[in-house]
Amino acid sequence: MAAVATPAGGFTVVTHTTPQHAQQPTSGIAPTVDHHKFLIGKPMALGTVQIMIGVVVLLFGVVTAFNAQTISIFSGVMFWGAIIYMVAGGLTVGVSKSPNLCLVRASLGMNIFSTIAAGIAIILHSIDFVFIGGIFYYDCRDSQSRALGIAGVMLVLSLLQFSVSICVSAFACKATSCCTDTQQVRYIPSQA
């Protein structure tokens, strides 16, 4: 579909809209995913990193659940966040082994959810980092330094998970963008 308009400025504007999925599947087969765009992002490595972050966060959560009294322990972000990270990483690794549209979309959705969980974890660990040494650990400096160290490590891991989830989501979004139309606008000088 093309539209031509001639404005008074001496230029002819040609707008051409081309749908990227010009042919609909007729046999009931789902459209394929452009897995090369997704595999550029090295999903196997990124998914493995997500799984390892989830395991480390879960282990730190188990260790700190017995002694620490922090907001991140009370909220449970070290447990439900770790599970979300591991599921997102598992889906990402699964997509790298057998890329299909359903798995890429599942990985995209789960990584968006993982990004939100990591953002919440960043906020909670930052609050822990600020409040440790004030209210909870007023009588024991050794526990305070341990809790401060764990809060710092958890903050770094949450930042890493946040960035990895955004990267995987971006590559998955590029691979599944079969429903958008591209629009080209060209300016052609008029011959007056």
Is 15 domain-assigned?
Answer: no
* Residue 18 and residue 175 in contact, taking contact as beta carbons nearer than 8 Å: no
Burial class (CB in 10 A: 0-12, 13-18, 19+), 119: middle
Q: What is the pLDDT of residue 45?
A: 85
- In this predicted structure, the answer to whether residue 36 has a pLDDT above a threshold of 50 is yes
Number of domains in the chain: 1
Given strand 2-5, what is the order of strands in its sheet? 2-5, 11-19, 181-189
Is 138 domain-assigned?
Answer: yes
Spatial separation of the C-alpha atoms in residues 55 and 61, rounded to whole Å: 10
- In this predicted structure, the answer to whether residue 99 has a pLDDT above a threshold of 60 is yes
Sign (positive/negative) of CA torsion 53, 58, 63, 64?
positive
Sign (positive/negative) of CA torsion 149, 154, 155, 159?
positive
Q: What is the mean pLDDT of the chain?
A: 75
Q: What is the pLDDT of residue 27?
A: 40
Query: Containing domain of residue 71, as a range?
Result: 33-178
Is 79 domain-assigned?
Answer: yes
Is 21 domain-assigned?
Answer: no
pTM assigned to the model:
0.68
Spatial separation of the C-alpha atoms in residues 164 and 130, rounded to whole Å: 25
Is 159 domain-assigned?
Answer: yes
Residue with tokens 């930052």: 126
Spatial separation of the C-alpha atoms in residues 115 and 56, rounded to whole Å: 17
pLDDT of 64-89, one tens digit each? Answer: 887 767 788 788 888 998 999 999 99
Is 68 domain-assigned?
Answer: yes
pLDDT of 159-171, one tens digit each? Answer: 999 999 998 888 7
Is 8 domain-assigned?
Answer: no
pLDDT of 120-136, one tens digit each? Answer: 999 988 888 787 755 55
Is 167 domain-assigned?
Answer: yes
